[in-house]
Amino acid sequence: MHADPKGVLTGVHFLDGDHACCEGTLAAGARFAAGYPITPSTEVVERFAWRIPTVGGIFIQMEDELAASIAIQGAVWGGAKAFTVTSGPGFSLMMEHIGYAAMTETPCVFVNVQRGGPSTGLPTLPAQADMMQAKWGSHGDYGIIALCPNSPQECFDLTITGFNLSEEFRVPVMLMLDECVGHMTEKVVIPAAEQIEVTPRRQTKLPPEEFHLFEPREDLVPDMVKAGDGYRFHVTGLTHDHRGYPSMNVETQDEQVRRLQDKLKPLSNGRAICETENLDDADVVVVSYGITSRVAQRALQLARARGIRAGKFRIISAWPFPEQRIRDLAGRVKAFVVPEINLGQMVHEVARAAAGKAAVIPVSHAGGSVHNPELILKAIEEAAR
């Protein structure tokens, strides 16, 4: 279906990533946001608080991130599309509720504008060091989706994609911005509402007596209902059967937890979102994401100018990791160079997918700024040698 025009600010704008992300939430149909102030993410909900009273929805500033991350899930079961926004320390506090959303298959969106860590770290400066936390931060086994925009335009576009994937797969989706992408200002084109595709909720067509809240469809994802419609359903974070009733046995646990991961398989294979350039003849491939992909772009230009056959692989959907794509490349390139603003996170996934068939070279950075392109160029040159 198309976006509701009430939330779509069609036109050409000059926005930073945080503001563009907010416009993305409105275009995607989000009418509820709960947040707690934290740099460098707050602008997303500041804009939402300013915009939403004339669109028709609610923003509530909660007492902490624990509250914000569960209030949005209450709103989702009340029928809303909802999201919250945070950074480092707040993201850590939200972990339990990311697990709750995964376990209860509650579609919702978490925006994380990454800053330097650990702990309070570098509140106003960039990092990409929450990438593993996004996937593994809550206890137990589960699956999530994480998307990494590298421009304000993508903050708008991928926020809509994020909401859509969240509805399709009934999972929490993380939008993994970083301080640079969140605060850089660029041209953002917002199309007309009828040009924006929005995925509706998987509302069941079955009557209450035939409906089971956690009975998966062919794509392993169950359909949904909202409170107040007479279905008298039960939702719990305990391991539960297809009716949603707690079931403390090994068989239910095995079936449920495996399905929470298996339902996302299409995204690690054919439907992975990536951007590639010059891969056909590449000896060295730079794998990057977020702001680092824009720094890497400069290093790639310099490398090509020096006659090195270097190609670009930009990860856009970081989780599930696009492992099939990396595996296919590993057989025919010499090396992967992986710059990221952390001491080595996604590089481990690249190495796992490459499975020894190509060298994998990290270019780490502890956070606080972007890489110097020369540093990435040096790694490309060494890899090509």
Interface residues toward other proteins, by CB under 8 A: 1, 6, 29, 31-32, 34, 53-58, 60, 62-64, 66-68, 70-82, 96-97, 100, 198, 200-201, 203, 226-238, 245-246
Smallest separation (angstroms) from other proteins to the CB of 317: 23
Smallest separation (angstroms) from other proteins to the CB of 212: 13
CA-nearest of 229, 235, 363, 208 to 287 is 363
Q: Which two tokens stand for residue 31?
A: 């009418």
Residue with smaller CB distance to other proteins, 243 or 265: 243
- SS3 category, 145: strand
Beta-ladder partners of 141: none
Residue with smaller CB distance to other proteins, 55 or 132: 55
Residue with smaller CB distance to other proteins, 58 or 375: 58
Find the helix or strand (DSSP H, E) in which 260 lies.
helix 250-262
Residue with smaller CB distance to other proteins, 69 or 293: 69
**Tokens 């080595």 sit on residue:** 344
Smallest separation (angstroms) from other proteins to the CB of 159: 16
Question: What is the spatial distance between Cα 352 and Cα 355, in angstroms, rounded to a whole number?
Answer: 5
- SS3 category, 76: helix
Smallest separation (angstroms) from other proteins to the CB of 226: 7
Residue with smaller CB distance to other proteins, 93 or 148: 93
Q: How many CB atoms lie within 10 A of CB 250?
A: 8
Cβ neighbours of residue 330 under 8 Å, at least 6 residues apart? Answer: 336, 353, 354, 355, 357, 358
Smallest separation (angstroms) from other proteins to the CB of 154: 24
Beta-ladder partners of 171: none
Smallest separation (angstroms) from other proteins to the CB of 215: 16
- Contact in structure between 181 and 150 (CB atoms under 8 Å): yes
Residue with smaller CB distance to other proteins, 201 or 304: 201
